[in-house]
Amino acid sequence: MSVAASHVVVSLVEKYPNYLIINLDKLDYCASLKNLEAISQKHNYKFIQGDICEPHFIKQLFETEKIDIVLHFAAQTHVDLSFWHALEFKYVNVYGTHVLVTAAYEASVEKFVYVSTDEVYGGSSDEEFDESSPKRPTNPYASSKAAAECFVQSYWERYQFPVVITRSSNVYGPHQYPEKVIPKFISLLQQNRKCCIHGSGLQKRNFLYATDVVEAFLTVLKEGKPGEIYNIGTNFEMSITQLAKELIQLIKKTNSESEVEHWVDYVKDRPTNDIRYPMKSEKMHSLGWRPKVPWKEGIKKTIEWYRENFHNWKNVEKALEPFPVTQPFMHIDIS
């Protein structure tokens, strides 16, 4: 389960006690039910372990549970891993989405929210992307998300099935599996290990704190119009090198540039590494949403959380390697 998904589930359970919130999760390598312990015993929360790529299971789920709204977060999301396991990413992210949106349509769901990514736009050094910008994905992960968007959008075009698509900047905060850059750097430094930076480290990313993203999804659930796409972005942008330096200063209390450099290790870059993903989010602003949590506040809370909760996942040390060490996570018979 993604960092955004876990925080959204917790928020929905706590804010809407009269609604049953069903959490469907395969419990893949990056999932941890410990992140949901605060709500696990709530009367309006139900956890179901299952795979969106199993059509019969998903069809039965919609037949047995009265599901009004679907928030579709389920995906393989680790960009580095997608270069080695592109077929699996396509299977989970595209086929799994096809299975889920088909079942939701057949069950006459009231709203289907597909959670996509800013990476479908591809990189840009100057152009700011709005929702009408063309999709130019540059890695297998982003390509699979862009293809899944097309499946979802087709149900609106053909059947007027009420789908909404969101494209978010990078989310950070508690609950995030440490393969992603912020929790990876934090965890490495807390274990007295160096930050591993791919390539030059000049690539910039926009970072949104988890609770801001929760508010964005609650806004989309209430105000999002069927058939529309919404960018969930922020103007806060930071290079990977600057990110590493800030975290080193916060965690290691360094005073000089040479002390900072001691905690940095530059490694070979990934096959493609987009320079930045600048987005316009005026459509979300028009619905009443804007990010509120300042970087200094969000990153402080995140650092404190990982100090106590790094071992919420099994075999989590693997996530701290410079490049993926995960074995193929599924077998696909294409004969």
DSSP letters for 256-311: SHHHHHTTEEEEPPPS---S---B--HHHHHTT------HHHHHHHHHHHHHHHGG
* Degrees, nearest 5: CA angle 220-112-25: 100
Mean pLDDT of the chain: 93
Q: Is the pLDDT of residue 105 over 90?
A: yes
The pLDDT, as a whole number, for residue 270 is 75
Torsion of CA 154, 160, 163, 167, to 10 degrees: 50
Q: Of all residues in the chain, what percent carry a pLDDT higher than 70?
A: 96
The pTM assigned to this predicted structure is 0.94
- Tell me what the mean pLDDT of segment 204-221 comes to: 97
Per-residue pLDDT band at 325 (split at 50, 70, 90): low
Q: List residues with catalytic annotation.
A: 118-119, 141
Among 103-107, 197-201, 269-273, which stretch is predicted with the lowest mean pLDDT?
Answer: 269-273
Q: What is the pLDDT of residue 327?
A: 52
Confidence of residue 2 (pLDDT cuts 50, 70, 90): confident
pLDDT tens for residues 39-91? 999 999 999 999 999 999 999 999 999 999 999 999 888 787 878 889 899 99
From 112, 20, 118, select the one nearest 72 (Cα to Cα).
112
User: Where do the domains of the chain lie, and which CATH numbers do they carry?
Assistant: 3-175+207-235+276-292 (3.40.50.720)
What pLDDT shows up at residue 323? 78
pLDDT at residue 128 tops 90: yes
